[in-house]
Amino acid sequence: MSDTPVIPEEPIQKARHPFVEAWEMFRRNHAAVVALAVLVLIILGAIFGPILYATDPFEMVWAPFSPPGVDGYLLGTDYLGRDMMAMVLNGARVSLLIGLAAAVVSVVIGVTVGALAGFYRGLVEEVLMRITEFFQVLPTLLFSMVIVALFGASLPMITFAIGVVSWTAVARITRSEFLRIRELEYVTASRASGVKNLRLMFKVILPNALPPIIVQSALMVGSAILFEAGLSFLGLTDPNIVSWGQIIGSNRQYILDASFTVTIPGLAIFVTVLAISLVGDGLNDALNPKLRQR
Amino acid sequence: MPAARVTLIRIFYALALLLAVLVLNFSLMHLAPGDVADTISQSMGGADAEVLERIRIDYGLDQPFLVQLGRYIGNVLHFDLGYSFFYNQSVTSLILERLPATLLLVVSAQVLALVVGVVLGVVSARRPNGMLSHFVTFLALFGYSAPVFWTGILLLIAFSLKIPLFPVAGMQDITVTGGFFAHAWDILRHLVLPMITLASIFLALYSRLARATMMEVLGSDYVRTAKAKGLSQRDVVYKHALKNALSPVITLAGLQFSAVVSGAVLVETVFSWPGLGTLAFQSIIARDTPTILGILFFSALVVIVGNLLTDFALRLVDPRLGGRR
Amino acid sequence: MTEPLLKVENLRIELKLRDGVAPVIDDLSFELMPGESLSFVGESGCGKSMTALAIMGLLPEGIGRIASGKLIFDGEDLTTASEARLRQIRGNEISMIFQEPMTSLNPVITVGEQIAEVLRTHQGLSRKAAWDQAAELLDAVRIPNPRSRVSDYPFQMSGGQRQRVMIAIALACKPKILIADEPTTALDVTVQAQIFDLLRDLRAQTGTSIIMITHDMGAVAEMAERMIVMYAGRKAEIGPVDQIIDHARHPYTQGLISCVPHIMSDLTETREELTEVPGIVPSLREFGRDQCLFASRCKYRSGECLQHRPPAKGFGNGQISDCWHAEAL
């Protein structure tokens, strides 16, 4: 329509630190702020919980299937009479740690692949994008199950198995950002002034490609936590550690006797992932330059 | 490009992907500690070095990597994916036994998620601030954040333990007698909960995307034209708008096939659904490598075929992709 | 004298802003006679398209609304008509073609079907009859090989051809009024001339009244008998085209005309884009103030221009100007 009203711009504000500006935008998303608070609580619980609540999660402390709140066990006991509270707190460490580490692995792979493809174009791009598509065809969970089954269920292997199957989204986003930014004038200018390719890629282009990559990375942490939960639910995890998925997996035969042994750790996963995705939404508001112009 | 050529290129491309999956499969087998000889000797209760050596020669394990790879691919072309010493059965027949159950689950969940997702998206797009719209947002958050196996267990507790509407596990009740319809009804009853569980993840995704594209399309110039023609609301929304809003959703659904198959592994485990997922779970516990790799190959095949079908569906919906003339 | 076909009385359209509302159309009245061709002229953002959408009953939902006034079409007030009644009128008795032929046709439906569905909806034609007539309409808008091109999709056509299809859709039911909102802005100059020729010929054949919205004075001179000059949601001047071009009674109209110097000597050969009158249209927030909204850009500005909205002054020849200094100009 030719007559779309031109909404007058707000008076120009003084330039502020980008972080301050991003926080301003983030703060407007109330759900994200609440989620951030919840997430901080969960992280604090994971770090200090097992120290303050020093019950051994593997020790049989009471009769099995004692319901939450009864007999002094806040979250009850599981099928082996272990303290659920201790298990959930210790499980938080593993879930968050693997989630974070696996996200880092996938972001590193994804950014590298995407950056190379978007920067060099041509044959390099063709080959890398075919590899990306190949990884999209493999059913992710099944592939990481295979890796863990063949090469052992140690924490580093689990982290690697999750990271190596979940980088494709990051690679695609990075590539499209690189394709866009590499054509901008300041990149041409840097190139003309003889800046080396590697520097051009990581010092000139990458910083400007970061916002969508950061948002995607935040979401990656959430999906990596879900992923780890899935693997450990199936029992593909280090038997010497507790994780949320594993609590559900090992208790699931007893849902008739004590459904809370399954619902509580599931709730923990749900709330954590939900909080992360809401924070991701907020980050999107804060970092997306298109929205900021409103 | 003529449609026939596009189709041919797609199919070639799919075959190349399959070949790549085979190479990956074989490399994994090669890299993993222990080989077929070890497995066989284990199943015989141990063997000395000489016997091991003979088995290796029998199975060609002494040959160079590429020769073995070539032989492996040749075998697969003859539908030979190896032998499962755990199940005492060829991997191909083992998988073919289980494949229909997984296909039933995967396809029905995708269809359910697509149909309900699109309907929810369309209805809520027309009232962006209505109750249903908020429900779609909530659903999207839940579907994304809840671990699917947990959703499954919750449904199991609610609708088969507390309120016994549906069977707890499996795909068929062996006590059911009668004709085709009695069995079909029985399978359907078993299917409901796993299908809904698996669909829940994707339902959320599709309804959110359907709502977003539908809102965009409803604001487009051609929808304004349709209204200016005096067409009924139904024609404007379902003929002019929906047809355009469908292709992004179908594209997304195509990209989700590998995630659906992954989700099926967990859902099958929760509901003891006798498909590839439970088979994968059992063979991983049994360290049955040929079966595991066979499943990986077949599930990749399911995804690739799914992608091909998506591609054709897209070209039916959008004439610009050259499907029709 | 015959009854006017469309009578717009004191129309006020309000647009919702972040803070409050703005009158994008403020107290607009005009009449359209059967078979007449009327042009709306003005810069972007002056409310021309909003008027058209209001007549169609297609103001953006939840954003724009008719606050007061009447739209009397054939004796019936459209502002109070039901949605069902409006649907009967739209595309049938009043149709509209839009500015963007590239995006105004549905990309996934054949052009034949997009024409045929109007005929089926309003005239109850059968599938076959509607399809046949769609081909005839394509022929009428001068698209070669209409029989084979009915089953084309829009992406297989050029911009000019798509606008012809839009015209075919709009004229399919022989409407009493055709509203053309900048029908040629998005097209090449040569194609523009062809579209104008087509519209003129079709009008001569069907006797349809045309409301053409444009910012191109050349197009006005060529297509219309009367014109309305709009500024900031208000009527600045109205009257017969030759008289206004001959002697404009509003400084804004004068500015528009002086931007196209060839207009008086040569009416048909070339059309140039209107170059802007110095200054910009006031922001929506300023719409509706009790003053002359053009004052900030006007060289004749005096005290009263800033204190009160100018009244309409008639000149007996059908020309009316909303300017404090109309007589002096």
Q: Report pLDDT digits (tens) over C169-208.
A: 988 888 899 998 888 877 777 888 888 888 888 888 888 9
Q: State mean pLDDT over A99-120.
A: 91
Q: Quick: pLDDT tens for C192-251.
A: 888 888 888 888 888 899 999 888 887 888 888 899 998 888 888 898 988 888 888 888
Is the pLDDT reported for residue C74 higher than 60?
A: yes
B68 & B166 share domain: no
pTM score, whole prediction: 0.81
Does the structural domain A28-46+83-288 have CATH classification 1.10.3720.10?
yes
CA–CA dist A274, A285 (Å, integer): 17
User: Within 13 Å of residue B48, how many CA atoms lie on the same side as its CB?
Assistant: 1
Is the pLDDT reported for residue C273 higher than 50?
A: no
Average pLDDT of chain C to the nearest whole number: 84
Q: State mean pLDDT over C304-317.
A: 83
Chain B residues with CB under 8 Å of A248 CB are 147, 149-150, 153
- The residue type of A174 is T
B220 & B250 share domain: yes
Which structural domain, as residue segments, surrounds residue B257? 96-323
Q: Provide the greatest CA pair distance for chain C.
A: 67
Residue A262: CB partners within 8 Å, gap ≥ 6?
A: A248, A251, A252, A255, B150, B153, B157
B42 & B113 share domain: no
Contact C87 B318 (CB under 8 A): no
Provide long-range contacts, Cβ within 8 A and 24+ apart, for B4-7. Answer: B6/B315, B6/B322, B7/B312
DSSP of A59-113, one letter per residue? SB-S-TTPPTTGGG-TT-B-TT-BBHHHHHHHHHHHHHHHHHHHHHHHHHHHHHH
pLDDT at C59: 85
Chain C residues with CB under 8 Å of B225 CB are 98, 104-106, 166, 169
Helix, strand, or coil here: C109?
A: coil
Angstrom CA distances, A18 to A281, B126, C200, stand at: 18, 37, 58
Q: Which of C226, C257, C258, C220 is nearest to C240 (CA)?
A: C226
CB C299 within 8 A of CB C251: yes
pLDDT at A102: 92
Positive or negative, the CA dihedral C145, C151, C153, C156 is: negative
CA–CA dist B110, A77 (Å, integer): 38
Q: Can you give the three-state secondary structure of chain B, one letter per residue? A: CCHHHHHHHHHHHHHHHHHHHHHHHHHHHHHCCCCHHHHHHHHCCCCCHHHHHHHHHHCCCCCCHHHHHHHHHHHHHCCCCCEECCCCEEHHHHHHHHHHHHHHHHHHHHHHHHHHHHHHHHHHHHCCCCHHHHHHHHHHHHHHHCCHHHHHHHHHHHHHHHCCCCCCCCCCCCCCCCCHHHHHHHHHHHHHHHHHHHHHHHHHHHHHHHHHHHHHHHCCHHHHHHHHCCCCHHHHHHHHHHHHHHHHHHHHHHHCHHHHHHHHHHHHHHHCCCCHHHHHHHHHHCCCHHHHHHHHHHHHHHHHHHHHHHHHHHHHHCHHHCCCC
Q: Quick: pLDDT tens for A239-259.
A: 888 888 888 888 887 777 777
Helix, strand, or coil here: A220?
A: helix
The two three-digit tokens of residue C237, written as one number: 């001047």
Q: State mean pLDDT over C304-321.
A: 83
What are the sequence ranges of the domains in chain C? 225-279+289-329
Give the burial class of B167: count Cβ atoms within 10 A of its Cβ; 0-12 exposed, 13-18 middle, 19 or more buried. Answer: middle
CA angle centred on A145, ends A143 and A150, rounded to 5°: 100
φ, ψ of residue B274 in degrees (nearest 5): -80, 60
CA–CA dist B82, B59 (Å, integer): 11
pLDDT at B81: 81
Angstrom CA distances, B87 to A125, B159, B282, B297, C47, stand at: 44, 34, 10, 18, 77
The two three-digit tokens of residue B147, written as one number: 């671990």
pLDDT at B310: 87
pLDDT at A291: 46
Q: Which of C123, C205, C211 is nearest to C172 (CA)?
A: C123
Is the pLDDT reported for residue A65 higher than 80?
A: no
Output C267 or A223, whichever has higher pLDDT.
Answer: A223
Contact A142 B295 (CB under 8 A): yes
pLDDT at C274: 44
Q: State mean pLDDT over A119-123.
A: 85
pLDDT at B322: 63
pLDDT at A289: 56
pLDDT at C264: 47
Residue C326: CB partners within 8 Å, gap ≥ 6?
A: C249, C250, C310, C313, C315
Contact A149 B292 (CB under 8 A): yes
Is the pLDDT reported for residue A108 higher than 90?
A: yes
Contact A5 C284 (CB under 8 A): yes
Is the pLDDT reported for residue A2 higher than 50?
A: no
Contact A141 B263 (CB under 8 A): yes
Confirm or reject contact between B269 and chain A (CB < 8 A): yes
Candidates B142, B149, B299; nearest CB to A248: B149
CA–CA dist C62, C56 (Å, integer): 16
pLDDT at B268: 92
Instruction: Provide the Cα torsion C23, C26, C27, C33; round to 10°.
Output: -110
pLDDT at B28: 83
Contact A142 B281 (CB under 8 A): no
Is the pLDDT reported for residue A1 higher than 60?
A: no
What is the crossing angle of helices A206-233 and A84-120, to 10°? 140
Q: How are strands ordered across the β-sheet holding C21-32?
A: C21-32, C6-16, C64-73, C76-77
Is the pLDDT reported for residue A277 higher than 60?
A: yes
Angstrom CA distances, A132 to A33, A42, A198, stand at: 35, 34, 22
Helix, strand, or coil here: C134?
A: helix
**A214-243 residues touching C, CB cutoff 8 A:** none
CA–CA dist B300, B81 (Å, integer): 14
Radius of gyration of chain A measured on its C-alpha atoms: 23
B123 & B195 share domain: yes
Contact A1 C99 (CB under 8 A): yes
pLDDT-based confidence at C119, cuts 50/70/90? Answer: very high
B237 & B294 share domain: yes
Chain C residues with CB under 8 Å of A2 CB are 44-45, 48-49, 99, 181-182, 185, 215
Contact B161 A255 (CB under 8 A): yes
Chain C residues with CB under 8 Å of A7 CB are 17-18, 284
The structure tokens 């002056």 sit at C46
Q: How far is C50 from chain A (nearest CA, A)?
A: 7
Residues of chain B with pLDDT under 50: 323-325
Sort strands C209-214 and C37-41 into parallel, antiparallel or unpaired: parallel
- Among residues B91, B117, B143, the one where a domain terminates is B91
What are the sequence ranges of the domains in chain A? 28-46+83-288
B165 & B83 share domain: no
CATH of the domain at B105: 1.10.3720.10
B208 & B301 share domain: yes
Best mutation target among A141, A172, A257 (most B Cβ atoms within 10 Å) is A141
Give the burial class of C252: count Cβ atoms within 10 A of its Cβ; 0-12 exposed, 13-18 middle, 19 or more buried. Answer: buried
pLDDT at B125: 84
Residue B314: closest CA among chain C residues belongs to which residue?
A: C108
**Structural domains in chain B (count):** 2
Q: Quick: pLDDT tens for A157-205.
A: 999 999 998 898 899 889 988 888 888 888 888 888 878 888 888 888 8
Contact A2 C44 (CB under 8 A): yes
pLDDT-based confidence at A294, cuts 50/70/90? Answer: very low
Is the pLDDT reported for residue C1 higher than 60?
A: no
Q: How many CB atoms lie within 10 A of CB C62?
A: 9
CB C15 within 8 A of CB C22: yes
Contact B32 A230 (CB under 8 A): no
Percent of chain C residues past pLDDT 90, beyond the cut: 11
| Chain-centroid distance, C-alpha B104 | 10
Q: Which of B214, B207, B259 is nearest to B240 (CA)?
A: B214
B61 & B121 share domain: no
Output A53 or C119, whichever has higher pLDDT.
Answer: C119
Contact C46 A7 (CB under 8 A): no
Confirm or reject contact between A50 and chain B (CB < 8 A): no
pLDDT at C262: 55
Candidates A2, A5, A8; nearest CB to C15: A5
Q: How far is C7 from chain B (nearest CA, A)?
A: 20
CB C10 within 8 A of CB C68: yes
**B32-91 residues touching A, CB cutoff 8 A:** 32-33
Chain B residues with CB under 8 Å of C122 CB are 230
CB A200 within 8 A of CB A190: yes
